[in-house]
Amino acid sequence: MLVKEVSTCINQQFRDYLLNDPTYPMPYEICYIDAKKQIIEEDHSTDSIYIIASGVAIEQHEERILQFLGNNASFGIDAMFNAGTTATSVMALTKMVLYKFSIHDIRSKIAARPVGATLLGNMLSHHVLTLTEQLTDTSSNYDKTLKILRTLASFYGEEKNSAIYVNKYFTKKMIANYLQISYSTVASIFRGLIAEGILHDEPHGIILYPAAI
């Protein structure tokens, strides 16, 4: 399976467990979040877990971007295992719609429907695996940058006329932060990708041409 397919499957299974199980319906709130709003603060207490209905966010630890979050992704889960305290922060990049669940209610459901523990474990294991692969990646900066651009395009882009259009949620600065390389390096790689006909960089976003890769 591709990374997108695995992530989508795991996230969808946990989402369905919470939202679409008629044998044990879960109470939840729907939250409407403005772009640039901090949803969860690092090292703060919380009694809630969120699932993204729409929109894009970033998860950070000590100002380092750990991952980009989109539809059906969950966050705040670490608080279940850390005395109600979150180890990371989450900020909305766009306007968002979130499903908000009580940690207490989720624990109660897992006690009654233990399959939830397996789904939760699968999601956490995949997250750890993804972070481990990111931290141990020995590819060139060029390859790392192209890889994250392809991943972001796959998750958040719109395919049209043999190209993938991605709104400018993801700046070069964010990509540099995520990859832990300098902004100037990312900017230089962007220029190279443009010269190769792989990328078109516009004020409102980027256009990726997969056939040129």
- Single out the residue in 104, 135, 166 at which a domain terminates: 135
Same domain, 130 and 169: no
Confidence of residue 131 (pLDDT cuts 50, 70, 90): confident
Q: Tokens 């972070």 — which residue?
A: 131
User: Strand pairing partners for 43?
Assistant: none
Q: CA distances (Å), 106 to each of 17, 140, 181, in order? A: 10, 42, 38
Q: Which domain holds residue 47?
A: 3-135
Q: CA distances (Å), 56 to each of 61, 65, 109, in order? A: 17, 13, 27
Helices (H) and strands (E) in the chain, counts: 6, 12
Please give the average per-residue pLDDT across 18-43, as a whole number: 96
Give the chain's radius of gyration (CA, Å). 18
pTM: 0.88
For the chain, how are helix, strand and coil distributed in percent, rounded to 5?
45, 25, 30
CA atoms of 193 and 213, how far apart (whole Å): 9
Q: DSSP 3-state assignment of 124?
A: helix
CA atoms of 213 and 208, how far apart (whole Å): 9
Question: CA 175, 7, 208, 156 torsion: positive or negative?
Answer: negative
Q: Residues of the chain with pLDDT > 70: what percent?
A: 97
Tell me the per-residue pLDDT of 103-117, one tens digit each, with 9 for 90 and over.
Answer: 999 999 999 999 999
- Single out the residue in 105, 135, 165 at which a domain terminates: 135
Please give the average per-residue pLDDT across 143-166, as a whole number: 92
Q: Tokens 């946990």 — which residue?
A: 14
Same domain, 162 and 207: yes
Please give the average per-residue pLDDT across 140-154, as a whole number: 93
First vs last C-alpha separation in the chain? 21
CATH number of the CATH domain containing 201? 1.10.10.10
- Single out the residue in 102, 135, 168 at which a domain terminates: 135
Same domain, 36 and 122: yes
Same domain, 158 and 124: no
Is 206 within 8 Å of 139 (Cβ atoms)? no
Please give the average per-residue pLDDT across 129-150, as a whole number: 91
CA atoms of 43 and 166, how far apart (whole Å): 32
Alpha helices, DSSP H only, in the chain? 3-19, 103-112, 115-135, 141-156, 172-179, 183-195
1 has pLDDT over 70: no
Q: Tokens 């703060």 — which residue?
A: 44
